[in-house]
Chains A and B, each alone.
Chain A
Amino acid sequence: MSQKAQKPLELILARNLLTSLSTPAFLVDDSGALIFYNEAAGALLGISFEESGRMPAEEWSHALGPFGDEGSPIPIEELPTTKALRQGRPAHGGFTVRSVRGEEYEIESTALPIVADGGQEGAMIFFWTRANDTPGRE
């Protein structure tokens, strides 16, 4: 058997979908850990998922944002991701994210919960930059 427990099918299919999109997007599991992001998100953040790997919720929100007006990380419980996971409903917000190159982007993000037979499996988070300066886009 595999060393790591296989992901629920809903998360596998979500990853397959996000892989095919040019909209930057994250996939988190039910604990809020970042378990995948697509190439468009990698272009925005300046680092691919293959390079960064899986990150617990506190780690990715500290490293990548989102940040508030004063540049400090927004508390986890205020993030759309957290609301989607805890309340099982879509949530939306506007923030700043910072790439590993130090570039900051004003973004809007929508988190959609992934709910299956067994309950909450995770969430997909989509990003839109407010300016037309998204890396990798014409």
Chain B
Amino acid sequence: MKLKVWGARGSVPAPGPEMNRYGGNTSCVELELSDGSTLIIDAGTGIRSLGVGIAKRLPKINILLTHLHLDHIQGLMFFAPCFQSQSEITIWGPSSPEASLEERISRYISAPLSPVEVRELPCEVNFRDAPPSEWELGPAKIRAEAVTHRGPTLGYRITDGPTTLSYISDHEPGLGAPLDSLEPEWISGYDLACGSDLLIHDCQYTDEEYPDHVGWGHSRLTDTLTFARRVEAERLLMFHHDPLHSDDFLDRFQETAQERWQELGGADGAVQMAAEAQELELAPAKVAVT
């Protein structure tokens, strides 16, 4: 399984020269599976650049959405395959008792927020609620479960052969919960992330920033590291960077995270900040940065 980060920013795009190295685009990750097929996770603004490259070579596209906050769907309207008649796009996302996935996404892709409506898109697009039990897309076995965030939100566990990726981009498992001592069955996202080769996880706030954002649905550093240690993830890619965090800030944040990770008994080099254009090749118990 190969992975490329197209957007690692959280909440809102954060362009600017001080953000160039980690990038300002919001959540989007591309996976290349063992059969060469592509799976896209989230459709933040990062998906725009991804779409330019794959528009002609990939007629069938699956997109897994964690939830429908704008930083996870904003790029959909600028995703080139949506405007090509030969494209077949399936969008998977969380169900809601309030309205269907299509109806909820259509609130964004419709007037007055958008010049086009979903029904006007030339591509064939299908909207599917993520099933409650494991399902398959090509060689990948996919499992989706609700996790602690604001509104219906999923995390994903994707297994391709012997390799497992867990993606929980927006997650506050430490909300009202002592993560270091709680039994696993009571930890949000535990089963999704348990023993994964790579865990991509929310780490929006420093410990010092977190008290002003409790309950917003995102993690502080201590909770991200504790969660990753509890689930025994082989590697951790910290994700959903706060839009106020510049490259220099994230460099220092990463150093702190690596020191704290080793204090918790984690392996050297196993913790990293996600960065736009970063590519990883996943293998069991080993993830090589290319």
Q: Which residues of A contact B (CB under 8 A)?
A: 1-9, 12-13, 15-17, 19-20, 117-118
Contacts and interface: CB of A to CB of B under 8 A. Distances in A.
Interface of B: 95, 97, 132, 145-148, 175-177, 183-188, 190-191, 194-195
Given A1-B195, A9-B145, A117-B95, A19 B176 contact: yes
A23 to B, nearest CB: 15
A34 to B, nearest CB: 14
Contact of B194 (A1, A12, A16, A20): A1
B290 to A, nearest CB: 29
A16 B185 contact: no
A15 B186 contact: yes
A118 B95 CA distance: 11
A31 to B, nearest CB: 15
Q: Chain B contact residues: over half helix, strand or loop, or mixed? A: loop
B176 A6 contact: no
A6 B148 contact: no
A5 B186 CA distance: 10
Given A9-B145, A9-B148, A2 B177 contact: no
B186 A9 contact: no
Contact of B188 (A12, A19, A20): A12
B185 A9 contact: no
Given A5-B185, A12-B188, 8 more contacts: A1-B194, A1-B195, A4-B183, A6-B187, A7-B186, A9-B188, A17-B176, A20-B176
Contacts of A2: 184-185, 190-191, 194
A6 B177 contact: no
Contacts of A9: 145-148, 188
Q: Which 8 A-B pairs have the closest CB atoms?
A: A16-B176, A9-B146, A2-B184, A6-B191, A4-B185, A1-B194, A6-B185, A12-B188
Which of B95, B146, B183, B187 neighbours the largest number of chain A CB atoms within 10 Å of its CB?
Answer: B146
